[in-house]
Structure 1
Amino acid sequence: MQKCLHGAAPDVGFDKLLSLKELADAPNGYVINNNCVFGVEVFVRKERREGNGRSISMTKNAAKYTHVCKIEKFSMLKDEYYCSKPFTAANQRWQIMIYPKGNSTSKGTHFAPYLTLADAEKLHPRTQILTKFILRIVDQMHLKHHCCLPGTTWFSASQRSWGWSSFVTLAILNEADKGFLMNNTCIVEADITVLAIAKAL
């Protein structure tokens, strides 16, 4: 097995290396006199010379940034998707992208929000940004949130967007007593925390 270990992924292993039955079976010789010996061989590749190495910088005291996006005249939106104006969080430029009528398998049935790394095409092809984020819709009537499970992913030039195609059904979104649409306005919030940045050596 080859694995790059770093601050964001400090260990490697196997969930199912050997069954307990095989381990305890005396003829196999894994356990002798109630003792079991484990070992590991580690080979460090000099990736820098091959041009494949990466340096990973963990963000100390990573701060959470919150951005609020108001989507007005929601029922009149006709395009497949819309992007917010770019905003800055943790020295990176981001956008909230929404599919008002869903996308992919949720098209016509769900509201789909995504977090997008703006200007991703300017990144080095092997630069990656490890980001923890939450996207949510504000319940403007009850001052609550409809939250999706937090996401944590590596953003890059080739993976610039991440979100949920089945975030909330359009039926629920349009229910008057839910408070997600008030005065034909929907409010989407994004919490963003950049955990690490990986760059090519």
Structure 2
Amino acid sequence: MIICAGNNETFDFATPMGVGLIETAMNLTRLCLFDKPEFLLFIGTAGSYGDAEIFDIVESKTAANIELAFLDNCAYTPLDNVVSTNTQEVKDVIVNSSNYISTCKEKTAKFLKYGIGIENMEFFSVLQIAKEFNIPAGGVFCVTNYTDENAHNDFIKNHEKAKKLLEEHTSKRIKELTKR
């Protein structure tokens, strides 16, 4: 099953789950309880912490939920804040999720030291629920912006093109998989 966030980030071939960590967790849990999918593929846009370029496509099976305060040693969590469905020895770009969009380039560059390359609001919830229900899952993202003071304006400017690129990439990958 292919899923996406919702609101202005929808696709004809994907089922919207909600925006942010909470909506996604609630709606995806409900879906899994009543009609458990064989697999989950989340598609959406992302902000780059600096390594990924605008309109890059990034695939991942690993997500984190790390807040900026953690990077400055101003917070801690007793919860497991990284989840992965990656069963291979392939190194993933880690996708960080928060209900906030980062806008401080200096702070977010610290994520790169931990192998965390991009941020998307929903992906951590997707992988957490997939893990709970033992469902293979992954994500495909198109970078719309850098995590700097222009994050929102760049997201707005690049969103439609990013959605088209995601549609093309996903369609191509589905064709590749069905040929096997």
TM-score band (shorter)? under 0.3
Q: So what's the TM-score if we normalise by structure 1?
A: 0.24
* Structure with larger Rg: 1
Structure number with the higher helix fraction is: 2
TM-score by length of 2: 0.26
Q: Of the two structures, which has the highest relative contact order with CA contacts closer than 8 Å and spacing of 6 or more?
A: 2
Q: Flag the structure with higher strand content.
A: 1
